[in-house]
């Protein structure tokens, strides 16, 4: 297995490692850094190449101080996005034994212990978004909670993580399609929220990508005998089936808005597709999903290579049709309308698209090596 990861994922990772030091996000504690570091951690795990670990440590040491404080991080934001970069702390502490990494991990847990929540215990996405659960936040925080529980033996965090995954799926699921809306407002105060359900109007591809990645990564650490594990695995299968129905059959890609396939300006998008490929492929490999999803994942990955990945004369890779970002509320106000989503920026080699693209490639390569 150590020699098998070749070609696209490794090339893209190497290219990004060289260029990312000049990226504007490199100097700020940010969830997109965490996405890239997760991809490098998987490459390190499956290739054993020290350069990936060294890069992770270099980037994290830019922020983690000797006393465990984190430069440019503030607990009082109560922002789930800020947890994501901390996932690398577990690897760093395991490999080096340095206390600063453990202390930094505890600092992030201090936030999660005090994270504001809905009446049922669902984390608010951010302090500035009261009573709102966004699918994005599940990926940022839930795998962190379960890994922390596994490392410390504090089993209550398994329960907390399971609650997040189950509650948000229950509240955002469209009963007809099985797809999950981007977000849910318990208070139903937001202009974007349905007065009946509290859900946002559309199914954003990357939001569902965050969710399925959260599920498959959380299951890595959720004990086999946990009371909610079977239910989470079952929901994963149900969501995967819903995704199959909206995969573009010609290209294997998924549209930017999953509930509006074929609608004008609704383009086939790189980040969501990469996330689905990663989650489905890993889900099959780990036994969480039925084997039928292997072909679905492979079709999606081939679609990325054939339709969205470009190579110039110097061999530089460009992942195209990456949605730059999408949110709800805030200022200026994002109303969650179709017009809003399709007018957000489209980028090339956006970190939160490149990272899951690398992860997708790793999982597809692991198929071939087993």
Q: What are the residue numbers of the active site? A: 136
Distances (CA, A) of 38 to 33, 43, 113, 214, 242: 9, 9, 23, 12, 26
Among 99, 29, 109, residue whose Cα is nearest residue 66:
99
Question: CA 267, CA 152: separation in Å to the nearest integer?
Answer: 44
Residue with tokens 């009261």: 130
Cβ–Cβ under 8 Å, residues 226 and 158: yes
Among 2, 10, 79, 3, residue whose Cα is nearest residue 39:
10
Provide the phi-psi class of 108: left if phi over 0, else alpha when psi is between -120 and 50, else beta.
alpha
CB count within 10 Å of CB 294 equals 17
Question: CA 19, CA 3: separation in Å to the nearest integer?
Answer: 25
Q: How many residues does the chain have?
A: 370
Q: How many CA atoms lie within 13 A of 199 on its CB side?
A: 19
- 81: Cβ contacts below 8 Å, ≥ 6 apart: 30, 31, 126, 136, 137, 140
Helix or strand (DSSP H, E) at 184? strand 183-185
Q: How many CA atoms lie within 13 A of 92 on its CB side?
A: 26
Question: CA 214, CA 230: separation in Å to the nearest integer?
Answer: 16
Cβ–Cβ under 8 Å, residues 310 and 320: yes
Among 116, 129, 28, 126, residue whose Cα is nearest residue 77:
126
**Maximum Cα interatomic distance, the chain, rounded to a whole number of Å:** 56
């Amino acid at each position: 297995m150590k020699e098998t990861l070749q070609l696209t994922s490794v090339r893209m990772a190497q290219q990004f490692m060289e260029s990312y030091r000049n990226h504007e996000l490199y100097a700020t504690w940010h969830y997109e850094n965490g996405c890239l570091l997760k991809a490098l951690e998987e490459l390190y795990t499956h290739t054993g190449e020290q350069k990936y670990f060294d890069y992770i440590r270099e980037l994290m040491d830019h922020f983690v101080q000797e006393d465990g404080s984190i430069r440019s991080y503030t607990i009082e934001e109560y922002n789930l996005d800020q947890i994501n970069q901390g996932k690398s702390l577990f690897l760093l502490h395991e490999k080096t034994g340095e206390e600063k990494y453990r202390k930094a991990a505890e600092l992030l847990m201090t936030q999660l212990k005090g994270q504001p929540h809905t009446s049922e215990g669902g984390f608010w996405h951010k302090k500035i978004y009261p009573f709102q659960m966004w699918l994005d936040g599940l990926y940022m925080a839930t795998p962190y909670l379960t890994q922390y529980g596994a490392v410390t033996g504090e089993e209550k965090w398994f329960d907390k993580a399971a609650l997040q995954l189950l509650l948000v799926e229950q509240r955002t699921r469209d009963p007809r399609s099985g797809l999950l809306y981007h977000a849910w407002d318990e208070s139903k105060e937001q202009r974007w929220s349905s007065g009946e359900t509290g859900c946002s109007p559309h199914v954003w591809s990357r939001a569902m990508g965050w969710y399925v990645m959260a599920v498959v990564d959380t299951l890595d650490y959720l004990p086999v005998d946990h009371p909610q594990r079977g239910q989470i695995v079952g929901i994963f299968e149900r969501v995967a089936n819903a995704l199959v129905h909206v995969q573009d059959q010609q290209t294997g890609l998924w549209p930017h808005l999953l509930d509006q396939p074929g609608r004008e300006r609704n383009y086939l998008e790189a980040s969501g597709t990469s996330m689905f490929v990663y989650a489905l492929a890993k889900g099959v490999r780990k036994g969480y999903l039925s084997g039928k999803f292997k072909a679905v994942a492979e079709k999606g990955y081939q679609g990325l290579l054939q339709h969205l990945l470009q190579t110039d004369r110097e061999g530089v890779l460009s992942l195209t049709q990456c949605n730059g970002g999408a949110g709800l509320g805030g200022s200026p106000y994002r109303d969650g309308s179709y017009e809003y989503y399709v007018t957000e920026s489209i980028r090339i080699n956006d970190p939160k698209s490149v990272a899951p693209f690398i992860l997708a490639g790793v999982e597809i390569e692991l198929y071939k090596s087993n």
